[in-house]
Amino acid sequence: MKDDNKEIQPADLVELDFLEKVVARLPEDVRVLEVLGDLYTRVGRYEDGLNVDRTLSRLDPENMTVWYNLGCSLALVNKRDAALKALQRSVELGYRDREWMSADSDLQSLRGEKEFKSLLKRLSTFSSKETHE
């Protein structure tokens, strides 16, 4: 799925070409995959970003940011249930940024979901506890 509102800049094409070549040589380099996945999302190549995020979740399964980004990618391709599960996993691993999650445009398709609202409420609880400890 490509977001037609995103215009790919020539510099993005050069960066994509470079990163794809690096990943071809180093397919399990988490840092390179993270940058490539972010760039895919930024230019609207959501399915490609999702594939990278799925790979990252296998390579670094205890990383809360990897699971958050997977949730975002899943939301961008309208896989709501899977997106909510990935976000839940991110929270289980320690993700606590309620403000970011509530404003993240990648998660727009989840805003009306009961489970998403519950997750935001759970994050509010963590914030309160952490503030008072």
pTM recorded for the entire structure: 0.88
Residue 1 lies in a domain: no
Q: What is the pLDDT of residue 3?
A: 47
**pLDDT by residue (tens digit) across 1-52?**
444 456 789 999 999 999 999 999 999 999 999 999 999 999 999 999 999 9
Q: What is the pLDDT of residue 127?
A: 56
What are residue 45's DSSP bridge partners?
2
Q: What is the pLDDT of residue 55?
A: 98
Domain holding 69, by residue range, is 10-132
The label of the residue with tokens 């991110």 reads: 90
Residue 98 lies in a domain: yes
The CATH number of whichever domain residue 94 belongs to comes to: 1.25.40.10
131, pLDDT greater than 50: no
**pLDDT by residue (tens digit) across 80-102?**
999 999 999 999 999 999 999 99
Residue 28 lies in a domain: yes
Residues 6+ apart with CB under 8 A from 132: none
